[in-house]
Structure 1
Amino acid sequence: ALWIGLENLHELTSIPNNQQALRIELKRKGEKKPTVLLYHKFIVGSKPENYKLTIADYEGPNGYDALSYHNGAVFTIKKSLTQTPDKDKCSDRLSGGWWFKECNKANLNGRKFEYATEFKTSKALGITWHIKDKDQSYYYSYHNVEMKIRDDDFGFCTGRLKS
């Protein structure tokens, strides 16, 4: 697993007059093709802003827009020094860092489970992406996830050509 770091995410997404898009590819074990999600606006705030997430303009399968729920959330980690007591009860239980907001609808920094029995009984502990009206989606961890960042106006990357 590779995480480029919050400061790098901030630097990549805060270039003036250059909006960044986030493409997420989710794959369950055994799947050949990933589920592809696109957010045309993706910004990670600075350290003094606690790396606040700004996300908008979702494009993808119906019901899969889980990350918009986290819009405006700050990044928290287990025993974070930046959060007030009891404000975020999830980072401790989920033992990872994410833009938690009253727990989560998405957590791409969750645990990677190798066996089906492991992740079917571990609600929201794995690489989680909640699907609307499918609460059982909390129980199934994705095996592979990629987050890709690119200029939103770069037509080839987003599948849109500018004329």
Structure 2
Amino acid sequence: MKFSTFLVLILWMFLQGMSSLASGYEMAQDVSFPEQCHGYCFSVLQPLIDHVLKLKEATDDNDKMKVEKIHSLELTINNLQSQLLKSETEIKNNVEQIKVKDEQIKQKDDQIKLKDEQIKQKDDQIKLKDDQIKQKDDQIKQKDEQIKNLRKQINGKVGKIIVKVEEIKNLREDVKMISCLNSGSDDIFKMKVKGMEQFESPCDSPRWTVIQRRINGSVDFNRNWTDYKNGFGDERGSFFLGLNKIHLMTLVQPHELYIQLRDVNGTTKYARYDDFKVGSENEAYKLKSLGEYSGTAGDSFSYNLDMKFTTLDRDNDMLEKRNCAEKHAGGWWFNACSRSSLNAKYYDDGKRTPLQIFGIHWATWKNYNDYTTSLTFSQMMIRPKPL
């Protein structure tokens, strides 16, 4: 109960008592109540009043202390609220900073992840390169072994090459040639080979040595291996010099080949090759080289390159079921069979039917379109190239 309420209650009780007392005194004496009550009331009330005052003072002090405490608490609360607000602001700022930091950390993590991926890719590339280097090292090692073996083979062949060089040197000394370049006015090529009778071959302007000629059908070119090896015919007319002689001539020195062609109408064309070489009999007189082509007749001879010579009795062609020499009635470096055949059957009128034996032909003359005609003139000539 509050002090003020308590005080009112005491006063009300006191006044009730005083009222009863006053009534009694008024009936007993003729003295006014205030006067009668002054001394009594004061003596009665004084302790009570003092007590009440003390209570009031204590209450006032207590209320003052409470007010001060409340004020102090309010100040404290205000300070705390200010600090709390400040802390909330700081926390909010810190949260924002943490959020920014988290985002930065996330970006850094992503960057690190990306770098890790790049490093992994680089590692994979390095591993791949290492594997490739290892493969290359193995290949180099194999190549070194191959080179080592090749060097052994080369060293083993050097002696053979030296022997061959000596043989060629001796052969050149044995083969005495007076070519058409310096044969004189008789236009005859003369050649002397050790162990062989001297033979002659005609020269043709500008000083080419003739090795084959067809001018008419007076000489049969449907011959065997031995005839083509040694040669046949008339050096002043249709003839074939001989494979063995052609081999020796092209072996001793590089030669050019010049082929002249003419049809029944008098049209002429030519084919020229800058490196003509024929192999030995052991090689079946293989057409070993032709070199570069030039001319107007077209290149119908390169199809026969690396082919062995074929005759009626020596089938070296690539045709499986038949001898090309039979189909053409003459020996040649047949493939399967040929785009050219200058030793084939001779037709005086320059014509043949599809059922007849092939005549002298050069496929590129008519752009491969006509095998029903036969050329009426052919001449193969060679001359040495400068060493």
- Indicate the larger mover: 39-48 or 92-101: 92-101
Q: Which residue is 1:60 aligned to? A: 295
Q: Does structure 2 retain, via aligned residues, the 8 Å contact 1:56–1:68?
A: no
Which letter does structure 1 place at the counterpart of 2:278? V
- Pair 51,139 (structure 1): closer, same or farther in 2 beyond 3 Å: same
Q: Cα deviations across residues 116-139 of structure 1 (Å, max 9, x unaligned)? A: 4x4254677111101177233322
Task: Please name the residue that 1:109 is paired with.
Answer: 343
In the superposition, relative to structure 1, how do residues 39 and 83 fare at CA in structure 2: closer, same or farther (>3 Å)? closer
The alignment of Structure 1 onto Structure 2 pairs a total of residues equal to 149
C-alpha displacement at 1:68, in angstroms? 0.7
SS at match of 1:13: helix
Partner of 2:326: 92
Q: Which 5+ residue runs of structure 2 have no aligned equivalent?
A: 1-237
Identity over the aligned pairs, expressed in percent? 28
Query: 2: distance between equivalents of 1:127 and 1:82?
Result: 20
Match of residue 73, structure 1, among 283, 287, 307 = 307
Asked if the contact 2:284/2:308 (under 8 Å) is kept, the reply is yes
Displacement of 1:30: 3.1
Unaligned stretches of 5+ in structure 1? Answer: 155-163
In structure 1, the partner of 2:378 is 145
- Cα 1:85–1:39 change in 2 (3 A) is closer
DSSP-derived class of the 2:327 partner: helix
**Where does 1:128-139 land on structure 2 (aligned, <5 Å)?**
128-131=361-364, 134-139=367-372
User: Larger helix proportion, structure 1 or 2?
Assistant: 2
Distance (whole Å) between structure 2 residues aligned to residue 100 and residue 76 of structure 1 = 6
Q: 1:85 to 1:149 in 2, by over 3 A?
A: closer
Q: Alpha carbons of 1:28 and 1:122: their partners in 2 closer, same or farther (altered >3 Å)?
A: farther
Query: Structure 1 residues 142 and 81 mapped into 2: Cα distance closer, same or farther (>3 Å)?
Result: closer
Q: Do the aligned partners of residues 84 and 150 (structure 1) sit closer, same or farther apart at CA in structure 2, a change above 3 Å counting?
A: closer
Q: Which has the larger radius of gyration?
A: 2
Deviation at 1:64, TM superposition (A): 0.9
- What is the TM-score when the length of structure 2 is the normalising length? 0.35
* 4+ aligned runs moved over 6 Å, structure 1: none
Aligned-residue offset at 1:83 = 6.7
Alpha-carbon contact 1:88-1:100 (below 8 Å) kept: no
C-alpha distance after superposition, 1:18-70 (max 9, x if no partner): 31000000011231x52121100100100000000022210112x71000110
- Give the SS at the match of 1:101: coil
**Structure 1 equivalent of residue 359 of structure 2:** 126
Q: Select the residue among 29, 43, 60 that pairs with 2:264.
A: 29
- The TM-score with structure 1 as length reference comes to 0.79
Return the offset for 1:93: 1.9
Distance 1:64 1:121 in 2: 23
| Residue identity opposite 2:259 in structure 1 | I
Root-mean-square deviation (Å): 2.6
* 29 and 8 in structure 1: CA distance in 2 versus 1, 3 angstrom threshold: same
- Cα 1:134–1:10, aligned 2, differ >3 Å: closer, same or farther? same
